[in-house]
Chain A
Amino acid sequence: MIVAGVDVGSQTTKAVILGYGQGFGGFYSEAMKPTGIDVPEVSKMVIGEALEKVQLSFANVDKIVSTGYGRISIPFSTRTITEITCNAAGVHQLYPDVTLAIDVGGQDSKIIKMNSEGKVLQFAMNDKCAAGTGKFLEIAAQALEIPLDDLGKISLRSRRRITMSSICTVFAQTEIVSLIARRTDKEDIAAALHEAVANRIFGLINSVNPEAKARVVMTGGVARNIAVVKLLERMLGREILVPDNPQIVTALGAALMAENLD
């Protein structure tokens, strides 16, 4: 059987293909693309790309689970399942002993508390505000004229601690501009921004009352930012596991869910 999981996020669309059973022996393939405005089309392209890597085409796919904010706009999906459930499934597959997942994407931050079987016990999401999400970092990177991928690394070089007075994504941009005008080092500004993001996520983590000894994983695009991960590790007082490709975990979970559909 060949199954696909497609995770349509606000910024990036991710797909995972899983194949197993007679004649296949089991394989895995993944692909990612910026989401853009045509959700059905980009989903098709991303799944197609992942299939191509294993010399297959759309016709070979038995079941597709779509997830992420664009999940309901995909006409060819077998079922839609939320990114909460899919993320938990993906995390549990990769790290069976993890019971707390932090998933921070383009516009959403999610905290998922699981039991030892990977079942979701409780979840929390950011409410109506993009502070503490990837969008915040993206806008900050633009304002600082630093490539997004370097933002975390640069912030680690900060020598002087400053604090941002605003965690609103829009106002933070204004503040960055005024800090630059006052010749504040970019490294210090970047560090302050990361602290603002981490504080926001840490608050959300605490809202689900996490177990003191829970193993923690971080996924989503923001998990690629080393500074956020380090800050959260310090705040939580424990190690945070980050998979090789943290952005693909929810799509993996979707593919696993597709495999187990009735």
Chain B
Amino acid sequence: MEKTLAILKKIIEQPYSRAASWKMETGGKVIGCAPMYFPDEMVHAAGALPVALFGSNDAITLADMHLMTNACDQVRSTFDMLLKGKYDFLDGVAAICVCDQVRFFMEVWQLDHPFPFFHQMWRPYRMDSSTRPFLVSELKRLKSNLEIFTGIKITPEALCESIRIYNESRSLMRRLNELRRMRPGIMTAADMSKIIAASMLIPIEDHNKLMKELLFKVEKETSKGDERIKIVVAGHPCAIPNGLLLDLVEDLGLVIVDDDFFSGGRRFATDVVLNGDPFESLANYYMEAIPCTTSHFPGNWISEGKSYSPYGDYVIEMMKRGRADAVVLLRLMSCDPFDLEFVFLKKKLAERNIPYLTLFIDHSLGPLEPIRTRVQAFIETLKASR
């Protein structure tokens, strides 16, 4: 396990080196995809390599003069990397405009540093039958733009095949998550998020192969009888959570059994269920996505009756599945969607008497001591109430 794990973790240290070498080897196009929810399958079906634009932990020194003052760290860091030439290997950039930050920074990017391929996919904010045709048309617009750029026709068969490969990826990652849930501590949360992030940085076939090797070994590992308090973690959208932070949380006496990170549960929570037409299948995937606050699902409100926070329900369901006792929420500065959701989420958690801890995270992470105090105090509170 150690060897495969080491390979997967190493990918994160130099996140884009594999993509750059893939380009040299194959002559293929590499498309940078801004978080979140971009249909990588479509890029894959066009013979190109989709890579997630994660930003980095490096100090942000150039980006701020180009961006709005409330730019989130993810956007600032990604733009900083662009200005420092770290994305020179890219042939294009694409994104679903999941929030105003992503929409606006993509536009600044295209204005100041135009790439040969630039595509903003619009996903309806309100997800119901009235907006579904628009979503399908947007998926088709992406398809034709990719076809024009790569010169490769995306046939329904090719797209179905790409979806199958990505479904396999999701099911492999989901299995690893299941094992972590059943045998807490089998994989650290920091490692887990790096493994998932790697799936967005290297050819998916390579990642699937590594995942199979890893799972073959992890399946045989038995639980070490973990005594730590089980928690789930949510928040921290769009970036890879800092490993030092996750390690600190787990070292102090909590064990993360599930999460809703972008480089985590959100990546593999559900499959694209193939039912004939691949565009309709992808549309279904988006219509039934996890109840993330970047979209409004009126169906959730109506069918659930009084649920004012389907996302809160989702997190609580995750807790139940993992038999977790508490939630830790990582809040990034200037992430509007999560901040807005947080209002409902904390109300829901309080209503159910679910203990939660909120940690504010910014790009530099800063000194870990204040975080240590909060986490340790939270653990003491949990233990005292047992």
A residues near B (Cβ < 8 Å) are 69, 72, 80-85, 108, 119-121, 123, 125, 127-128
Q: How far is the CA of A119 from the CA of B380 in the complex (A)?
A: 10
Q: How far is the CA of A242 from the CA of B207 in the complex (A)?
A: 61
Q: Is the interface of A mostly helix, strand, loop or mixed?
A: mixed
- Rounded to whole Å, the gap between the CB of A127 and the closest CB of chain B is 5
Contacts of B370 in A (CB 8 A): 108, 125, 127-128
B360 touches A82 (CB 8 A): no
Q: Which stretch of B66-74, B142-150, B190-198, B371-379 is in the interface?
A: B371-379
10 closest A-B pairs by CB: A84-B377, A82-B377, A85-B380, A120-B381, A82-B376, A119-B384, A127-B360, A82-B373, A82-B380, A123-B377
Q: How far is the CA of A32 from the CA of B251 in the complex (A)?
A: 32
- Rounded to whole Å, the gap between the CB of B376 and the closest CB of chain A is 5
In the complex, which of the residues B362, B369, B372, B377 contacts A85, with contact meaning CB atoms closer than 8 Å?
Answer: B377
Q: Given that A84-B377, A127-B360 are contacting pairs, would A69 and B369 also be in contact in the complex, using a CB cutoff of 8 Å? A: yes
- Rounded to whole Å, the gap between the CB of B109 and the closest CB of chain A is 29
A81 touches B373 (CB 8 A): no
Contacts of B385 in A (CB 8 A): 119
A125 touches B380 (CB 8 A): no
Write out, one digit per residue, whether chain B residues 350-386 have a CB within 8 A of any chain A CB (1) or not (0). 0000000000101000100110111011001100110
- Rounded to whole Å, the gap between the CB of B96 and the closest CB of chain A is 31
Q: How far is the CA of A78 from the CA of B362 in the complex (A)?
A: 34
Q: How far is the CA of A80 from the CA of B370 in the complex (A)?
A: 15
Q: Given that A85-B384, A119-B385 are contacting pairs, would A128 and B366 also be in contact in the complex, using a CB cutoff of 8 Å? A: yes
- Rounded to whole Å, the gap between the CB of B371 and the closest CB of chain A is 10
Contacts of B369 in A (CB 8 A): 69
Contacts of A81 in B (CB 8 A): 376, 380
- Smallest Cβ-Cβ distance to A84: which chain B residue: B377
- Rounded to whole Å, the gap between the CB of B106 and the closest CB of chain A is 29
Q: How far is the CA of A211 from the CA of B288 in the complex (A)?
A: 40
Q: How far is the CA of A84 from the CA of B357 in the complex (A)?
A: 14
- Smallest Cβ-Cβ distance to B375: which chain A residue: A82
A-B contact pairs, 29 of them (CB 8 A): A69-B369, A69-B373, A80-B376, A81-B376, A81-B380, A82-B373, A82-B376, A82-B377, A83-B373, A83-B377, A84-B373, A84-B377, A84-B381, A85-B377, A85-B380, A85-B381, A85-B384, A108-B370, A119-B381, A119-B384, A120-B380, A120-B381, A121-B381, A123-B377, A123-B381, A125-B370, A125-B373, A125-B374, A128-B366
Write out, one digit per residue, whether chain B residues 334-360 have a CB within 8 A of any chain A CB (1) or not (0). 000000000000000000000000001
A128 touches B377 (CB 8 A): no
Q: How far is the CA of A82 from the CA of B378 in the complex (A)?
A: 9
Q: How far is the CA of A72 from the CA of B377 in the complex (A)?
A: 14
In the complex, which of the residues A69, A84, A108, A128 contacts B360, with contact meaning CB atoms closer than 8 Å?
Answer: A128
Contacts of A85 in B (CB 8 A): 377, 380-381, 384
Contacts of A121 in B (CB 8 A): 381
- Rounded to whole Å, the gap between the CB of A122 and the closest CB of chain B is 8
Q: How far is the CA of A120 from the CA of B374 in the complex (A)?
A: 13
Q: How far is the CA of A108 from the CA of B371 in the complex (A)?
A: 12
Q: How far is the CA of A83 from the CA of B385 in the complex (A)?
A: 17
A84 touches B380 (CB 8 A): yes
- Rounded to whole Å, the gap between the CB of B325 and the closest CB of chain A is 15
Q: Given that A127-B360, A128-B360, A128-B366 are contacting pairs, would A120 and B373 also be in contact in the complex, using a CB cutoff of 8 Å? A: no
Q: Interface centre among A83, A108, A123, by most B CB within 10 Å?
A: A123
Q: How far is the CA of A194 from the CA of B360 in the complex (A)?
A: 27
- Rounded to whole Å, the gap between the CB of B129 and the closest CB of chain A is 40
Contacts of B362 in A (CB 8 A): 128
Q: Interface centre among B362, B366, B380, by most A CB within 10 Å?
A: B380
Contacts of B374 in A (CB 8 A): 125
Q: How far is the CA of A2 from the CA of B377 in the complex (A)?
A: 25
- Rounded to whole Å, the gap between the CB of A112 and the closest CB of chain B is 9
B377 touches A120 (CB 8 A): yes
Contacts of A127 in B (CB 8 A): 360, 370
- Smallest Cβ-Cβ distance to B374: which chain A residue: A125
Q: How far is the CA of A32 from the CA of B386 in the complex (A)?
A: 34
